[in-house]
């Protein structure tokens, strides 16, 4: 299926922009922030039922978190911990604010967005350390924030999908908190980018191969590509992950590795579901509330997680 007409128009507009790999990290962040500002200025951003900005403390250091509450009144909210995308280099709580608001509204879950440290100032393993420590702090401090520590899902897009998977892996390795479900949008999960979709979409459908390589150079240059904290596909115990739902974009360099991750989980006896978002490109969640086709994909992705958290 061809790229959705609205997204194709956006790709054509982006042709005049500097490519990520041509910029410094600071410039890349500025360009990304500006592009998100343009998107959100043209959409109806959801009103949160409640919102809190908090900071983790103590042995976990300071990690900014933003908690979004749904409109539904509950004594304890099932909780989705969300890790934003951006190649481990760009993005923050603000760039994914409208996405998290939509997830909270549509899922009847509290959403906790994690502002983990970014590369190259803080290369691997800073981001996965923050991702895991934020989870530990959240479980220990769930009660005063009306969160249910027994009903937690991990979610993320792109690099954030990587961090959600890595956090679930570390939970298994360290006998950490109970995780009810995983939701991964077009995740980066492999240390080797040699899948057919890489060749098909290398020129850039939301993410070019050169940009992907640039992100990894900033984040984990020279690191072991078989380290499961970097490349979750290399983890030997994938069948022990919590119920996992993976959403890939049809037109995306990362499509095939995300689908290979789903296949590997299934082959090792895990519970996994996979949805390929037809006509979509990498990063399509950023157009949440802008195009009905994107909203439909988000709603479909949330259903299996809502079912698990409702149990």
Supply 136's token pair: 């530990």
Contact 247, 185 (CB under 8 A): yes
Tally of CB atoms within 10 A around 71: 12
Tally of CB atoms within 10 A around 88: 28
Name every residue whose Cβ is closer than 8 Å to that of residue 117 and which is 6 or more positions away in sequence. Answer: 126, 127, 130
Supply 148's token pair: 């249910």
Active-site annotation holds for 158: yes
Is residue 188 classed as helix, strand or coil in its secondary structure?
coil
Contact 233, 257 (CB under 8 A): yes
51, with CB counted inside 10 A (0-12, 13-18, 19+), is: middle
Check 113, 158, 181, 190 and give the catalytic one: 158
DSSP 125-172: THHHHHHHHHHHHHHHTTGGGTEEEEEEEEEEETHHHHHHHHHHHHHH
Contact 182, 164 (CB under 8 A): yes
**Gap between the Cα atoms of 234 and 232, Å rounded:** 5
Is residue 300 classed as helix, strand or coil in its secondary structure?
helix
Give the sign of the dihedral formed by CA 217, CA 218, CA 219, CA 223: positive
Q: Measured in Å, how far apart are the chain's first and last C-alpha atoms?
A: 36
- Residues with a catalytic annotation lie at 158
């Amino acid at each position: 299926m061809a790229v959705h007409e609205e997204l194709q128009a956006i790709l054509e507009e982006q042709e005049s922009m500097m490519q990520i790999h041509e910029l410094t990290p600071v410039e890349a962040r500025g360009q990304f922030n500006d592009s998100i500002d343009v998107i959100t200025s043209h959409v109806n951003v959801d009103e949160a039922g409640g919102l809190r900005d908090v900071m983790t403390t103590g042995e976990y250091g300071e990690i900014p978190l933003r908690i979004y509450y749904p409109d539904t009144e509950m004594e304890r909210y099932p909780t989705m911990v969300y890790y934003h995308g951006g190649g481990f280099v760009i993005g923050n709580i603000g760039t994914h604010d409208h996405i998290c608001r939509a997830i909270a509204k549509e899922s009847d879950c509290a959403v906790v967005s994690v502002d983990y440290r970014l590369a190259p100032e803080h290369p691997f393993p800073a981001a996965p350390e923050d991702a895991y420590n934020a989870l530990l702090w959240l479980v220990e401090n769930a009660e005063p924030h009306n969160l249910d520590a027994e009903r937690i899902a991990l979610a993320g897009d792109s690099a954030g999908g990587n961090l959600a998977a890595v956090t679930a892996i570390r939970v298994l390795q360290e006998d950490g908190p109970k995780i009810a479900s995983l939701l991964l949008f077009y995740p980066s999960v492999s240390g080797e980018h040699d899948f057919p979709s890489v060749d098909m979409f290398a020129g850039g459908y939301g993410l070019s191969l050169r940009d992907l390589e640039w992100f990894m150079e900033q984040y984990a240059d020279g690191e072991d590509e078989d380290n499961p904290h970097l490349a979750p596909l290399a983890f030997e115990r994938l069948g022990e992950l919590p119920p996992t739902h993976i959403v890939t974009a049809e037109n995306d360099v990362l499509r095939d590795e995300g689908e290979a991750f789903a296949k590997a989980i299934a082959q090792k006896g895990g519970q996994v579901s996979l949805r390929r978002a037809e006509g979509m490109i990498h990063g399509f969640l950023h157009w949440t509330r802008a195009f009905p086709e994107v909203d439909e994909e988000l709603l479909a992705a949330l259903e299996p997680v809502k079912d698990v958290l409702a149990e």
